[in-house]
Amino acid sequence: MSILPIITIPDPVLRKISEPVERVDAQTLRLMDDMLETMYAAPGVGLAAIQVGVPRRVVVIDTSEEDEEKSPLCLINPEIVGLGQKTRLYEEGCLSIPDVRVEIERPEMVTIRYIDREGQLQELSADGLLATAIQHELDHLDGQLIIDFLSRLKRDMIIRKFKKAKRE
Ligand code: NI
């Protein structure tokens, strides 16, 4: 396994729409292992393949607490099939936008369908932090970022700051 470099804004790669995975082969498994290692090292609770430059619909998530056993979740071609009525407000961060937090209101419960590491179709219902993380990571697969929830003015300010930092 290896730690991969994480792409940060304003790299246009992050805006790409990721393509579905056609079959779960050794390359896909390797990618997910590397993504997990990269996510744990960062550290973060979720990572989408596009954040390491791979435009495939692959996501890894682990919302377990530091003192708990790891519970990695690998989602291939995940799709939302149900959203709860109630919403939850949470200050989200993103490994592609270091040191920025955005308060976002999303449905508190989500049901998804996805392919697991064994190539099996699975359904999962989640709430709380896991539901938030799932929705955040699925947004990445469609090129959507947490700064898109901000006003244009605030978003442009953050993008300018990152552009400037990259020049320096
Ligand atoms: Ni993110």
Q: Using one digit for the tens of pLDDT, what is the confidence trace for 104-141?
A: 999 999 999 999 999 999 999 999 999 999 999 999 99
Q: How far is CA 53 from CA 13, 96, 108, 131, 157, in A?
A: 7, 11, 29, 24, 24
159 CA to centre of ligand 1 in angstroms: 15
68 CA to centre of ligand 1 in angstroms: 23
Please report the pLDDT score of residue 66 as a whole number: 84
Report the predicted TM-score, pTM, of the whole model to 2 decimal places. Answer: 0.97
Residue linked to tokens 């901000």:
150
Q: Which CATH architecture has domain 12-167?
A: Alpha-Beta Complex (3.90)
CA pair distance 60, 83, nearest whole angstrom? 20
29 CA to centre of ligand 1 in angstroms: 21
Please report the pLDDT score of residue 139 as a whole number: 98
Report the relative pairing of strands 102-107 and 58-61 from DSSP bridges: unpaired
pLDDT score of 7 more than 90:
yes
94 CA to centre of ligand 1 in angstroms: 4
CA pair distance 42, 85, nearest whole angstrom? 33
Task: Kindly list the catalytic residues.
Answer: 137
Domain ranges for the chain: 12-167
CA pair distance 100, 77, nearest whole angstrom? 28
152 CA to centre of ligand 1 in angstroms: 19
Average pLDDT over residues 28-48: 98
93 CA to centre of ligand 1 in angstroms: 7
Find the angle CA(6)-CA(119)-CA(64) to the nearest 5 degrees.
Answer: 50
98 upstream amide cis, omega within 30 of 0: no
Average pLDDT over residues 47-55: 98
